[in-house]
Structure 1
């Protein structure tokens, strides 16, 4: 499947620059209060299931890149770190170091995943969710959509309700195909 023009440009730049951090999109959420880790993981997995672009890789077919969409059940690549036993004065520095490491770690566009995260336990009632995406699968507007969907899914799953989000009428690959046809 072909790429959108923006994806093709980013793929080409990645071939020239290698694993440049310039196209990494880091974000973080501070989660205070009781955390239902199972609901959090389920919400993140559901977002990856819901959005094909979040499970898309970009491989070379001849001289051209193509999109490969991995199966819906691959889930969200989530690491977990526990800083709760770290002295309070060192926690913020270690959290910042984890955020920087996650934001700067290279992505392999062909191997994926192109979205990853770390759940950091800072205390019993204090966690941070650090997420980094490659710009080839997301943009600034999309981050807001994903945060909103995460909030809705997490709230539903914490109270044993089903996914409240309506099915997506189109996926990003549909847009890329349409754009190429114009």
Structure 2
């Protein structure tokens, strides 16, 4: 059985803990103007899923242990749901589509809808579960989809070279590199011990003067608080970073920690941030 990577295992665990939800969906919404061949687009989507094994992987379990099951391409080609919408219905249909809840045990982690506003006006909604991709994945995904669509419109399947490495290869490499967490001599055990000590005593909740009460159960609803910095401030921050041989990110994180401390969070302030490709 193919093991899950640590990132996949984390998402699988959260899915089992909380149940299917849209919390870890990655949506792409594209407005398409001009003539569109929906049949060719559906075929192109199938070509991309066939090319990338991660997009046709389901995650069943045996005796409580999850594993990757890569489906055969003919059993995994996703349907493109074509839906006629009025101009005022598009936003609500997009919102409902991106909130789709995947069944990771039985269902491929990619879905697509084509919202038809008119003969030459469409909105493509593509949703990938985070267990099969991340923000960096969207560029190659859309690039391959565009190429496959052009080929399908031309009446042929895409003639691309097979990928040298699939995500399952990475999961196997990671397992071999890190070893078992139960083995005290393994790199996994070493890293877990490091972070256990580093996070020892970290506060579960920061005592901050929030303007809304913390709910008993996380809703995962949020908002965006925009913040603009002037060019002069940006240059000054870069100068400070250079003077102390650190990155701009580190300067901003330090400033945020100081701000939270002054607001009552104390001196032990855990700060979370999205990362990709960093250890």
Q: Provide TM-score, normalisation by structure 1.
A: 0.91
More helix by share: 1
User: Offset of 1:98 from its aligned partner?
Assistant: 1.2
Aligned to 2:59: 58
Aligned to 2:238: none
Aligned-residue Cα RMSD (Å) equals: 1.3
Q: Which runs of 5+ in 2 are unaligned?
A: 178-279
Query: Is 1:117 equivalent to 2:112 in the alignment?
Result: yes
Structure of greater relative contact order (alpha carbons < 8 Å, 6+ residues apart): 1
Per-residue Cα deviation, 1:67-115 (whole angstroms, up to 9, x for no partner): 11111112123211012xx3xxxx1x31111111111121111011211
Q: Aligned pair count?
A: 175
Aligned to 1:31: 32
Aligned to 2:81: 79
Aligned to 1:10: 11
Q: Contact 1:56–1:114 (CA<8 Å) still a contact in 2?
A: yes
Output the CA distance in 2 between the equivalents of 1:51 and 1:154: 16
Query: Residues 67-106 of structure 1 correspond to what in structure 2 (within 5 A)?
Result: 67-73=68-74, 74-83=76-85, 86=86, 91=87, 93-106=88-101
Which secondary structure does the structure 1 equivalent of 2:160 belong to? Answer: coil
Q: Contact 1:77–1:113 (CA<8 Å) still a contact in 2?
A: no
Q: Contact 1:77–1:115 (CA<8 Å) still a contact in 2?
A: no
Q: Contact 1:81–1:119 (CA<8 Å) still a contact in 2?
A: yes
Q: Which runs of 5+ in 1 are unaligned?
A: none
Aligned residue among 103, 108, 111 for 1:108: 103
Q: Contact 1:81–1:120 (CA<8 Å) still a contact in 2?
A: yes
Choose 45-54 or 155-164, whichever is displaced more. 155-164
Q: Provide TM-score, normalisation by structure 2.
A: 0.60
Q: Contact 2:21–2:100 (CA<8 Å) still a contact in 1?
A: no
Aligned residue among 168, 175, 181 for 1:180: 175
More strand by share: 1
